[in-house]
Each structure stands twice: as C-alpha cells, then as structure tokens.
C-alpha cells in the first residue's frame, strides 16, 4: 500500500484528494497548520498531523517516522486579494516553506511529488483555449510564486532526481457527499452565489457586463473538485511516464458569471440578489483550459463536467453545512 503525505490536506481540494486516495486504497497522512484548513475536513481514516512547513524540526520528525512513498503538496497562501498588496506572504509560504519541504523530502529519500500549481501562472491569455505551452507571465504574486516553484522543481529534478508533476488548476468547484468548500474569506464565485441563495441578506456582485462574450459577463472554466482528485491519482500512478510535465486541470468548457447565477437560481429555487458593478482591473474576458495533454498522457476523463452537477453538489453540501466546518 502506497503511503502519501498531503500538505494542506485540510483545505478544500486537499481534503477531497485525501478522500479519493483513501477510496482507492492509499494510506494517507495529512499535514496542515489549520491556518486556512479545517480539522473537520480531514476524514478519520487519514492520519492528521498539525504542523507548519516553516518548522524544520517538525518536518524532520514527521518524515523520520512517516516513511512516505510520495508527497502531494497543496499547502499554499491562496487568498488572491492580498497578492498585490502583501507579496511577502506568498513568497514566504509558497517558496521558502516549499523549499523546506523539498529539502526534507530529499533528506529522507522521498522523490515523488505532485504539486498543486495554478492557471494563474499564465497571466493574461494570448490565445484561447490555454494550452500548457502558453506563455507564463503571471500578473500577481500568487501566480508568480506558483511559477517560481514549478521552476524550482525542474532544477531539483535535474540535480537531485526528484520526480514531479505540476497540476495547473483552473476553477475548482463542487463538492463530494462528505466534503465541500469553506474558505474564509470566500472569494470563489459559485459558493458566493449559493450563499446569496441560502441567506437573503447576501448578494452577489457581477463585475462588468460589457465584455466581448455571449452575455457580456466574464467566462471561466469550472472543473469539479472530484475530477481534480482523480487527476492527482492518475499523476501518481503515471509518474514514471510523465515525470516533469505540467497539466491543465480544467473542463474545457466555459460558463459566464450570468450563466452561473441563472443555473444557481434554477437549482436552488431561491431568488439571488445581483449587484452590477464596473469591471475589475486585470479580469480577462475569457479563461478556458485545453485539457488535451491530461487526456492524452494521463488518460484523464472528467466525469462531472456539466454545470448542473457541479452547482448541485456544492448546493447539497452547503445546505447541510450552512456555516461551513468547525461550527
């Protein structure tokens, strides 16, 4: 049985990757400092280790006793709103702490890593759909930190024999039966739209309705979090064949902000208050992934691609957990 350490495994994507790994017979240890994650998001079948990647002594102890076969590195500073005003948060957490993890892995001869990267490494798109060969010109420190770590992995692969795969997420969405999305603050569109349906005092803002799209609002690529989890398992099982590669994780389909709101209204049967606001600086009209490489090389076939399935799963979880975890 392969033993996998997941950093950031108490977070949204990490918890559901943990769930899928457990269902596929893996032994899982979750490392999280609970700064943004939730203890209740870690299933009891997984070992939970409360620790911080910045603590060398803790990491040393964890790896000395853990005997891990591979690491999935999902711990990161992700709250985009601070990425322009406080870049040191991103570089410290996403680069410095990441290096501490890599060096500890090498020390204990753990040389397989699946890295949670981001479509934010691409920056403003020059072509649609975005392939993995698209220029990487990040427009915020979050995207820059993810790109820098991808480059670090390449050098660690060359010099130290580290095997790695980078997964560039587009917009993770949806929920499993047990686990869902609970960020604080919540910045993702779908949960915020659903909160506006669940709580009458809340509203959703649409920033711009004059984009060159079908209805004037921005179009984005939403990928179900369970499909993301399956892609991570495929990355682990195909590591020897696709070592050093990066893969887009997107559905390859685009939905506008207004379409998200309309579908949420239909599924929930609730009114949703919408406030129209001016465009935000730096918001591209369309962000759409090409997932051809993941389909060809990982044999990844997303199962939950339609918008109804994505929103319905998120709504079911939110109705059961109106205040999220830890409440």
- The one catalytic residue in 12, 142, 156, 164 is 142
**Nearest one of 40, 39, 37, 26 to 71, comparing CA atoms:** 26
Residue 142 annotated among the catalytic residues of the structure: yes
Facing residues of 28 across strands? 4
**Nearest one of 246, 257, 241 to 193, comparing CA atoms:** 257
Residue 241 and residue 297: Cα distance in Å, rounded?
8
**Nearest one of 117, 164, 161, 159 to 142, comparing CA atoms:** 117
* 3-class secondary structure, 247: strand
How many other C-beta atoms lie within 10 A of the C-beta of residue 202?
14
Residue 225 and residue 21: Cα distance in Å, rounded?
13
- Say if CB 264 and CB 190 are below 8 A apart: yes
* Residue 286: C-alpha distances to residues 128, 137, 283 (Å): 8, 16, 9
Facing residues of 164 across strands? 113
- Say if CB 92 and CB 149 are below 8 A apart: no
Residue 195, H or E segment: helix 189-198
Detail the DSSP E strand segments found in the chain. 3-7, 27-32, 47-50, 70-73, 112-118, 163-169, 171-173, 203-207, 219-220, 222-224, 246-249, 255-256, 273-277
Task: Just list the catalytic residues.
Answer: 142
């Amino acid at each position: 049985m392969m033993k996998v350490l997941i950093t950031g495994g108490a977070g949204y994507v990490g918890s559901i990757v943990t769930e899928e790994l457990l269902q596929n017979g893996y032994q899982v240890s979750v490392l999280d400092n609970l700064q943004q994650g939730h203890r209740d998001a870690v299933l009891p079948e997984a070992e939970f280790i409360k620790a911080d990647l910045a603590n060398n002594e803790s990491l040393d102890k964890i790896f000395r006793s853990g005997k891990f076969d591979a690491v999935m590195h999902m711990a990161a500073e992700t709250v985009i709103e601070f990425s322009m005003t406080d870049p040191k948060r991103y570089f410290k957490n996403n680069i410095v702490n990441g290096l501490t993890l890599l060096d500890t892995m090498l020390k204990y001869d753990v040389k397989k890593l699946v890295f949670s990267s981001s479509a934010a490494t691409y920056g403003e798109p020059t072509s649609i759909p975005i392939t993995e060969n698209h220029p990487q010109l990040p427009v915020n420190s979050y995207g820059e930190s993810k790109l820098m770590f991808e480059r670090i992995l390449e050098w660690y692969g060359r010099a130290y024999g580290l095997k790695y795969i980078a997964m560039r997420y587009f917009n993770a969405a949806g929920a499993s039966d047990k686990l869902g999305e609970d960020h604080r603050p919540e910045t993702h569109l779908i949960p915020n739209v659903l909160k506006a349906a669940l709580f009458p005092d809340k509203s959703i803002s649409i920033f711009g309705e004059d984009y060159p799209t079908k209805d004037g609002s921005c179009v984005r690529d939403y990928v179900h979090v369970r499909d993301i989890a399956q892609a991570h398992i495929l990355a682990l099982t195909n590591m020897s064949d696709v070592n050093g590669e990066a893969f887009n994780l997107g559905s390859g389909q685009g939905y506008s902000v207004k379409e998200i709101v309309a579908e949420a209204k239909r599924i929930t049967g609730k009114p949703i208050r919408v406030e129209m606001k001016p465009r935000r600086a730096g918001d591209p009209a369309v962000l759409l992934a090409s997932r051809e490489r993941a389909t060809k090389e990982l044999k990844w076939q997303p199962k939950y691609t339609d918008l109804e399935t994505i929103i319905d799963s998120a709504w079911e979880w939110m109705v059961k957990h109106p205040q999220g975890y830890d409440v």
